[in-house]
Amino acid sequence: MGDAPVTTTGNRALMLEEPLLFEIGSTDRTGVDFETTAPAAAGLGALARGDIGLPGLTEPEAVRHYTRLSRQNYAIDLGLFPLGSCTMKHNPRLNEKLARLPGFADIHPLAPRETVQGALQLINELAVWLIRLTGMHGVAMTPKAGAHGELCGLLCIRAALEARGDARQVVLVPESAHGTNPATAAFCGYRVENIPATEAGRVDLEALKARLGPDVAAVMITNPNTCGLFEPQMREISDAVHAAGAFVYCDGANFNAIVGKVRPGDLGVDAMHINLHKTFSTPHGGGGPGSGPVVLSEALSAFAPLPYTARTADGVVHLVEEEDAERFSQEHFGGQLQSFGRMVAFHGQMGMFTRALSYILSHGADGLRQVAEDAVLNANYILRSLEDVLDAPFAKSGPCMHEAIFSDRGFAGGLSTIDVAKALIDEGFHPMTMYFPLVVHGAMLIEPTETESRANLDQFITALRSIAERARAGDESLKAAPRFAPRRRLDETLAARKPVLAWDEPAPDGAGLPTPSEVGDR
């Protein structure tokens, strides 16, 4: 990769290199002036007090270090984030303002319940919105992400099956599912079996029906699915699953495309997680924060985890914990509630609850419907603007939902999806989701969300069109992309298999430390 622009410093224009704190700091520098204290006696017998070697920096050095690191992160606040399936949307600043109100942000999870009625009312009001928007019966608010919600949903299903003395062992998962679905089922001790997809990218209903039987506990279905398509036979699927004595788990990560338009409860869903951090904003990525409430059907609500909020006739919202669960169930729910246990230490993600309710209330029911319509419109605009230069395997099946999907069919010269993704970086765009779902060869999955304006979409389309044309022409230079990024093509497999997680002081001659170009070029 000899054609990378080289500079003396390693910086590229105003993208600055930044070594580790340990490499730039030293133990004799500090940003604060402490009074010198008298040496303390070593009070631990033979253990002597010594230096631990933490690096120090001056204040401007420390500020620059973290500011430079922050600029190495790409974010939805910098530009379009076309990841598919993950709904990366704008987080209105109003949400942040409300989440920071001291009455929500500064309360302690162990504060006496009577003193935090406002926060409990907020959680309960959000719960009511989620139930109404999904047409379901109850909701477990505590799970802390989508995958955690899947776990909660399957534990509810397992508890319901156990309550009727039914030990079913199999969970059916369509081929196109997000990896968390089979992982969750396996984690709960179920055997996972695949259901094939049809040519048109939807669940093969006949294959599903043929596999249903007395050993099947649940079917996990994503709708809209990870091919960006709505499963129109959802009601028929649910009826067949219920007739076989099993439950329907719906992966609701793509609820953004149907919020305000479709109520999963009407489709026969028994449990569905909602990624608050996707559908109802809050920036995520890099591992958090997340919140994954699970809406539940009447058959499953009684098994929801503790604690849960419930408003009694006097208008008070209770946070029902183990010690009052039995009494509460007897007094208010005819002894029906039999929680399977708990998922988290406290009540769930307060900051995200506040952001989500702020998002919901500021849009209103009609605004949420428009969110879904605009997100779907944007995805279809991308699909139709690129289908003449990129193979769109499901375009014939009609409009897509929240995301447009393309394959690498038609690329020449051994070029593949990764070359297109890396070239997008040079154009200033974060790449789309690559090679997922697995049912599409060299998949490129693009979800623009409702965040983007037509002008933004046109810029992205222009960039991707030109790259796609180069890929079809077998333009070798794509293999060298990205050319302008501070790092080129990293050995991601090596990084994942042998991560360097600790810093070792380098030998005085600098031997053993990889140079940026060794790390960055493959």
Ligand X SMILES: *Cc1c(COP(=O)(O)O)cnc(C)c1O
Residue of this chain nearest to ligand X (CB atom): 146
11 has which bridge partners?
none
User: How far is Cα 375 from Cα 392, in angstroms, rounded to an integer?
Assistant: 19
CB closer to ligand X out of 254 and 385? 254
For 155, counting Cβ atoms within 10 Å of its Cβ (0-12 exposed, 13-18 middle, 19+ buried), the class is: buried
H-only helix segments in 430-522 = 454-472, 492-497, 516-520
Closest approach of ligand X to the CB of residue 275, in Å? 5
CB closer to ligand X out of 84 and 307? 84
Closest approach of ligand X to the CB of residue 168, in Å? 23
Closest approach of ligand X to the CB of residue 261, in Å? 18
CB closer to ligand X out of 273 and 363? 273
CB closer to ligand X out of 253 and 310? 253
CB closer to ligand X out of 272 and 392? 272
Closest approach of ligand X to the CB of residue 471, in Å? 26
CB closer to ligand X out of 39 and 286? 286
CA atoms within 13 A on the CB side of 119: 25
For 107, counting Cβ atoms within 10 Å of its Cβ (0-12 exposed, 13-18 middle, 19+ buried), the class is: middle
Closest approach of ligand X to the CB of residue 245, in Å? 25
CB closer to ligand X out of 86 and 212? 86
For 334, counting Cβ atoms within 10 Å of its Cβ (0-12 exposed, 13-18 middle, 19+ buried), the class is: exposed
Enclosing H/E stretch for 40: none
Closest approach of ligand X to the CB of residue 69, in Å? 23
Q: Nearest Cα to 126, choosing from 260, 293, 322?
A: 293
For 351, counting Cβ atoms within 10 Å of its Cβ (0-12 exposed, 13-18 middle, 19+ buried), the class is: middle
User: How far is Cα 321 from Cα 18, in angstroms, rounded to an integer?
Assistant: 48
- CB-based contacts of 360, cutoff 8 Å, min separation 6: 126, 129, 280, 368
Through-space distance between the first and last CA atoms of the chain, rounded to whole angstroms: 8
Closest approach of ligand X to the CB of residue 284, in Å? 7
- CB-based contacts of 330, cutoff 8 Å, min separation 6: none
Residues contributing to the site for ligand X (CB under 6 A): 85-86, 145-147, 178, 180, 222, 226, 251, 253, 275, 290, 292
Closest approach of ligand X to the CB of residue 181, in Å? 7
CB closer to ligand X out of 253 and 471? 253
Structure tokens at 228: 């960006």
Closest approach of ligand X to the CB of residue 355, in Å? 15
CB closer to ligand X out of 180 and 354? 180
Do β-strands 191-195 and 216-222 pair in parallel, antiparallel, or remain unpaired? unpaired
